[in-house]
Amino acid sequence: MTVEVKADRQLGWTRADTVRTSIAVGVAALLLGTAAYLGWTQGEGLGGSNAAFMLLIGAGLGILFERGRYCFFCIFRDLFEKGNSRGMYSILVSIAVGMIGYAVIFSTRVPNPDGGTIPSDAHIAPVSIALVVAGLAFGLGMVVSGGCIAGHLYRLPEGHLRSIPALAGVVLGFGAGFLSWDFMYSGFISGAPVPWLPAGGGYTMAIVLQLGILIGLGIWLLRWNPPVAGRGDRAVDGEELRRVIFFKRWPALATGAGVGLLAVLAYYKDQPLGVTSQISSLTRTGMTEAGMLSGFMPGLDERLAGCVAVVVHTITTNGWLIIGIVLASFAAALPGRRIRVERATAWNSTTALVGGILLGWGAMIGLGCTIGVLLSGTHAFAASGWVFGLAVVVASGIAFKLGLHRRANPGVFPTV
């Protein structure tokens, strides 16, 4: 099969383009101005000295997510429904780049990985049946709601109105996760092994092992990588540059490399990437103050690594990361004319809410989402990242094959 590419249309420039571009410049100025203020004040009362840095990291991610369509829902849908694996390579490359960067950082912080010390600030979590169930719930929720949590954060500014009930569902799902935490922790998570690949043979062996897995997956996925018919000769002029930067989807390899590099910078300066810590922490804070939760939660307040929720009363660096993703993705979408308000109905809003609940519950029990557990976990050579990722892939693959995304949002996805 060959993917036919239509000839490029003339872009032109309209008054609406002027308005869109002006707004995008204004949003970019707001981001940079806020980062400058946070840097000048050292984030006092607003997340601390790393607040400005994480806001800019979030902005970079927002641009890469939006322009490279780095969305696990979109990537898995292309693979399972359309038989196109191109997007998968962005995930593989981001893991490869991130793990090499993490290995360099680990080598200075934990020189001897065989000494029994596991980096406590990395997302290295226990592997248990609870993690598998969390991944399955997350994968199903992703398909039903129309995106993972990070996907909803960057697609909402594009006019994806289903992201509103989906994110509301995420909060409800976190609440359900907190209420079921004691049962899941005492029954499955407490005492579960915490496999860390470098502990068995050093960083070199861990890199070789994971790189071998990534290369093997990349070769296997080539069978679903159809050739693309070219567009013919094109002049490199102003319109073509505008088309490539703002209209065309950025290459998967470049997008993945960018995400991996930002992940390394975030971990070196502050903490591993994740988009659920602030949301789950605010949920826990509200439930605690409402008397629905006790002040102490076993595991979460003791030893577990990941996007762990704590009681907070202010924005954290993770919150600034999220703000950066939302604002930058909005600014990136505007010049490319990708702000299109999706029609919301009672049915697709309800399914988005239900899917969001599954996302939130899975992220709470799994201690993170596809960014915090799958990416940051595999970057840190944690077996938990691979287990969670496999569960997400299995659940989403079955759900896509059953067409649950089309049933949850009829009229948007054509029957294949």
CA–CA gap between residue 334 and residue 386 (Å, rounded)? 35
CA–CA gap between residue 65 and residue 327 (Å, rounded)? 12
**b/e per residue, 48-71, with b = 16+ CB within 10 A?**
bebbbbbbbbbbbbbbbbbbbbbb
Residues 123, 31 contacting (CB under 8 angstroms):
no
The CA-to-CA distance between both ends of the chain, in Å, stands at 15
CA–CA gap between residue 265 and residue 228 (Å, rounded)? 34
Residues 160, 146 contacting (CB under 8 angstroms):
yes
**This prediction's pTM:** 0.94
CA–CA gap between residue 311 and residue 219 (Å, rounded)? 45
Whose tokens are 């407490």? That residue is 190
pLDDT in tens, 33-54: 999 999 999 988 888 899 999 9
Say how many C-beta atoms besides its own lie within 10 A of residue 215's C-beta.
Answer: 12
Q: Could you tell me the CA-to-CA distances from 332 to 164, 237, 240, 343 in Å, in that order?
A: 20, 21, 17, 22
Query: Which structure tokens are listed for 287?
Result: 């439930």
pLDDT in tens, 171-228: 999 999 999 999 999 999 999 999 999 998 899 999 999 999 999 999 999 998 877 6
Boundaries of every domain in the chain: 19-225+241-408
Angle at 278 between CA 276 and CA 280, to 5 degrees: 65
State the pLDDT confidence band at 229, using cuts at 50, 70 and 90.
Answer: low
**Which whole number is the average pLDDT over 100-129?**
93
Alpha carbon of residue 235 to chain centroid: 36
pLDDT at 353: 98
Phi, psi angles (nearest 5°) of residue 110: -130, 80
Instruction: Tell me the HSE value of 312 on the side-chain side, using a 13 A CA sphere.
Output: 19
Helix %, strand %, coil % for the chain, to 5? 65, 0, 35
Residues 67, 164 contacting (CB under 8 angstroms):
no
State the pLDDT confidence band at 236, using cuts at 50, 70 and 90.
Answer: confident
Residues 202, 110 contacting (CB under 8 angstroms):
no
